[in-house]
Every structure is written in C-alpha cells, then in structure tokens.
Amino acid sequence: MDGDESCKLTGKFRGVCKRSFADSCAVLSSCSGSTSRSILRLFLLLVFLFCPVQFAGAHNLHGADGEYDHSVEPPEPVVPVFTMPSRESLLLAARPTTATSSSASARGKLIASYFQPFAKTVKVHWDGENFYVESNGIPSHVMMTGITSWQQQVPLPQPYYGSNAWQFPLFPRVASRPLSCKDNFFRGAIAIAVNGVPIFNPIKNDGRTDTYLAGELDKYGGHAGRADDYHYHIAPLHLQAYVGKNVPIAYALDGYPIYGATESDGSAVKNLDRFNGHSDASGQYHYHSTRTYPYINGGFHGEVNLRDDQVSPQPRAMPVRPFTSPLPGATITGFTRDASGVSTLTYSLAGGVYKVRYEKLKDGKYRFEYISADGGRRVETYDPNSQQRPRGGGAGGGPQRGGATQSGGPPGGPGPVGGRGGRPGERPPPPPRGGYDNRPPRPGS
Ligand SMILES: [Zn+2]
Ligand SMILES: [Zn+2]
C-alpha cells in the first residue's frame, strides 16, 4: 500500500473525518523509508478504524453500503439568530423585574425563544424596554373556512415591520388600576401570538357580541378584519402542537405571557382571576387560555396605555380596498392560495357556490374577481395608495371609502339575494365608532 492508495482509502471518509484525512496525507508526504512507512501504516490503520466509529457514535449518516450519504442534509439551525442558552438558565436570569442591560438581554432571549418555531416568518428584537415582533400577520394554517357570519373581508398580508411592528414591555408592571376588556380595548389587538398573528378582544364594541359564539371565526379562531387583516379573537390553542404545552403561545400587550389551557408542567390550572391570570409559586404572573370567555387575557393585569379605545402604540393595518358589509347566510367553505399568489375564497349562500379570487399585481394594485353562483364575474382593481390611512395608532383604524379604480361600487360580493352589501352600487356603511373590526350593535346578534 503506497501513500496514494492510503490517501484514496481514507478519502472514502473525507465527508466524515475531513480533518484526519488531511492530516494523514500531510504526514504521509513527509515520510520516507521502510520504518517510517510501517509506523505510517499503523497510524493510517488507526485513523481508518477510529474515525468512522467515532462519527457513528454521533449520527448514522452512512448508507447501506457503508458509504457516506451525500444526500443527507444537516438539520436546520434551531436558533439561527443567536446561541440559545438553556431555557432554565434564561428563566433564572430573566427573573428580575427591574430593567438592567443584562436582565433585558436575558429576558429578550427568553421571549425570543418562544417565537423561534416561527422564525422563518416572524422576526423579533428588543431594546432595554420593549420586545418587538415583526410579521405580515398571515399564519401558515388554512384561514377563513368555517365562518358562518362573514363580513366579506379576506386575508391580506400586512406590513407589521420596522416602526409598524408589534411591541410589548420586556418588564411588565402591575397596573394600579387594571383595565378590563369587557369595557375597553374594542379596537386593535390585545395580544400577539408567537406565530406573529395579532389577537383581538373576543367581544365586539357592542359590549356583548362574542365573535366566537356568533360564528364569525374560522376553525383556528381567526378571521379577516376591516382592513383585510387576519387576526384571532380567541386563544390560538392549536399553536401548542408546534411550540409545546410548557411555553407561552402568545404575549399580552402588557408584557405578560399567555399560556395554554394547562400549567407548564401539565397540571390543571386553578384560581384564575377575572382576567384569566394568576401568579405561580415564585410570584410570576401569567395568563392562561380557556375555551370559554374570556378565552385569553380578559383585561390587563399590567400597565398599558389606553388611547382611542385601544392599546397604544400598536401597528396599523393597511387597507387596499373599501371595507365591506356583513353577508348574512354565507358560509365559507374553502380558502386556497396557488403558487402564482392568487387566493381563492369559496363560500356557499342559499344553495349557490360563490368565489372571491384576488391577487396583488406587479404594479402594486390589487385585482379582485367576484364570481357568483351563476358564473357572473365582476372585477375590481384597487390602488392601495388611494386608500385613506387610519388616523392615530393602531390596527383598528380601518379602511375608509374609495379606492376602486373601476365603477361598480364597493365589493359587495356577487350580489346575493337579500344580502346586505351584496348589491352592486350600494355604498358601504359609514365606519362605526371603534373602527374596522366592529359593527354597530344589531338586535339579536
Ligand atoms: Zn398558571
Ligand atoms: Zn376581528
């Protein structure tokens, strides 16, 4: 066996033990004489035997024939942004309730770890005071299906980035006058889920309509609001399947975490206060999710800034078309998005099947096609730049009238018989107090 052959032999394992292979060839090139060759053979034999055994102890990446399998990809980095210390060490470090740069860093990393399963679409960062969440507000699950009380809105990505990101305090402070969501916060979000989707008050601004019980929510507890912005109104308990049951699935905008329906050790939740929260044995306050009202945080144990009936500051949703009206009797039966970016929402109404197909065009405008049960089509193109922006902070500002570049009135759907807002040319109702997600009280709703 000469030097070249040895190198070829060990080269079989260069994917496994590159360093040893290079080293052995370097040694080989400097060797000469039979004694040296004997020592070298022994050395190469040891490298040959030891290296794959050592590797096999860590991962079995060999194919059936013993060759290195080059098709095996390394696992995706679990924490691409920073090296993640253990959650236990972060918990300990994040305990102080007064902000220091080191405690802010530890606390930021801890909270970031809860958003990490959705890092592909949700970006987070923090400073000494606040934690920030950037997303387009669109979840990876199917949206809208199952809604039986629809207001003709559809989900569109929102620019919750940069100065329009979600935020909550790193170190929540107990409020001297805790505010209930039964009387306040009927606009905008009250929490942000770890998948970057905002969570709104379950109750509408009439003070009594439970959006979940009213059939306004899809199977995941969400729907599209007046700016065509998707959000939940109840606890997104399905997220526990991704993140686990022992970590928060959302953060309330006062900075306290929202856990699932059990304690982090799996035990039953006891002694919740009126806001669905309580303190653990070490005095750490947190909220829980419930399957009945209040579903999520029913108010704010911590301090928040209440302005225009919403937590402030918070991002604005950007409408691209005038808001639409309720369509009584409609049930959403399907929602798809194809590879070219065209979304199709299907709904049934009075035995007919209707569709709304929409897409963003290359020029930045939005094309909506309303297809009725008899095959009739109406196309509207909307220029987002012509939409009035909501005044003041908050996603609850809501879209205003105008913006369609073709005649034919607002997108009232393909004209369902008897449906309010379904008739071409009908103007949408004026925006109610409280903005986009809410409706004036309606008897019996
Ligand atoms: Zn608890
Ligand atoms: Zn809503």
Q: What is the DSSP string of 140-198?
A: SS--STT-SSB-S-------B-GGG-EEEESS--EEEEEEETTTS--SSEEEEETTS-E
Chain length of the chain: 445
Residue 334 CA neighbour count, 13 Å, CB half: 12
- Ligand 1 center to residue 235 CA distance, Å? 15
What is the C-alpha to C-alpha distance for residues 121 and 117, in angstroms, rounded to an integer? 10
What element of type H or E holds 23?
A: helix 18-29
Of the bound ligands, which one is closest to the alpha carbon of residue 262?
1
Span from the CA of 311 to the centroid of ligand 1 (angstroms): 24
- Note the pLDDT of residue 140: 94
Residue 324 burial by CB count (10 A; 0-12/13-18/19+): exposed, middle or buried? buried
Question: Cα(396)–Cα(432) distance, rounded to whole angstroms?
Answer: 11
Dist. CA 213 → ligand 2 center (Å): 13
Angle at 242 between CA 239 and CA 247, to 5 degrees: 75
Q: pLDDT at position 390, please?
A: 46
Separation in Å, CA 106 to CA 87, 99, 144, 223: 10, 11, 38, 35
pLDDT of the residue at 58: 33
Residue type at 6 in one-letter notation? S
Q: How far apart are CA 31 and CA 7, in angstroms?
A: 13
Phi, psi angles (nearest 5°) of residue 282: -95, 10
> Distance from the CA of 286 to the center of ligand 1, in angstroms?
6
Ligand 2 center from residue 301 Cα (angstroms): 23
pLDDT at 91: 62
* Nearby residues for ligand 2 (ion, Cβ within 5 Å): 200, 225, 437
pTM of this structure: 0.70
Q: Which residues of the chain have pLDDT under 50?
A: 1-34, 47-85, 390-445
Q: What is the Cα 292 distance to its own chain's centre? A: 23
